[in-house]
Amino acid sequence: MDDLQFRRSILADPKTRDDAINAALKSDPAKQKFVQETESLDSKIAQAMNIPVPEDLANKLILRQTLASHQQQKGKTRVRLAMAASVALVMGLTANFMLFSNTYKNLADYAIAHVNHEAAHFSNTDQPKVTLASLNEKMSAFKGSFASTFGTLIFADYCRFDGNKSLHLVFQGKSSPVNVFILPDDQDIEFVANFENSKLQGNSLHFNHSNIIVVGDKDEPIAQWQERVNKSITWSI
């Protein structure tokens, strides 16, 4: 290894050592001195290059990243919140639709379903418990009143009739209770004058702002009941 090549490799990388360099170092004290000088130069260079780093730089870097990812996190949270809100809204609308929309297409279906649902609560032998006065008190919500009782009234109370407040009256019938519904006129539900299924039959009467539906079993003279209701009821304006 000639001197120039030796100097070139040492100056290019003072730490470099291979067989040729080691051999050259052993045989030549001048080369050893050159390496020492270069190493000392290198340590000066390293010292000079080691400019002071701002003390708080590491903390700044961590802080900035934390803020940046917090910002990102906030963005994500906002998106998630928006998604949760959308889901909640859809669920709310669905629930609203399912609970409060008109499940039955017409009065007849609903009336029959309502009677069937509550059939177990009433028996034809129940004692009459409702006076005319309390019946009329309830009727006032529908702007109507009865002049007289026209049968044995065993139950009278407000009911939800497919989402509408209605008055449900139960009378003693021939063999099974007769149900009378008084409900406000509702545009959403189709009015059906006469209806029946295998057991029950019914009749609806339409007044100014109310419908009155009578439902009873097949043996019951529904038309007669309807007639009695019609006669005894008076509507206030």
Partner 1 sequence: MATKQVRYEALVKALHADLYRYAYWLCHDKHIAEDLVQETFLRAWRALDSLKDEKAAKSWLITILRRENARRFERKRFEMSEYEEATITDVGATSNEQEIENHWLREKIAQMPEEYREPLVLQVIGGFSGEEIASLLSLNKNTVMTRLFRARNQLKEAVDDEPKLRGLHNG
Q: Residue 29 or residue 54: which is nearer to partner 1 going by CB? A: 54
> What is the rounded distance in angstroms from the CA atom of residue 210 to the CA atom of residue 166?
10
Judged by CB under 8 A, which of 19, 29, 47, 187 binds partner 1?
A: 47
Residue 42 within binding range of partner 1, rule CB under 8 A:
yes
> What is the nearest approach in angstroms of partner 1 to the Cβ of residue 28?
19
> What is the nearest approach in angstroms of partner 1 to the Cβ of residue 2?
15
> Which conformational region is residue 189 in: left (phi greater than 0), alpha (psi within -120 to 50 degrees), or beta?
beta
Which range in 63-71, 109-117, 151-159, 222-230 contacts partner 1 by CB under 8 A?
63-71
39's tokens: 């190493």
Residue 105 within binding range of partner 1, rule CB under 8 A:
no
DSSP string computed for 74-138: HHHHHHHHHHHHHHHHHHHHHHHHHHHS--SSBHHHHHHHHHHHHGGG--TTPPP---HHHHHHH
Q: Residue 59 or residue 101: which is nearer to partner 1 going by CB? A: 59
> What is the nearest approach in angstroms of partner 1 to the Cβ of residue 118?
57
Residue 68 within binding range of partner 1, rule CB under 8 A:
yes
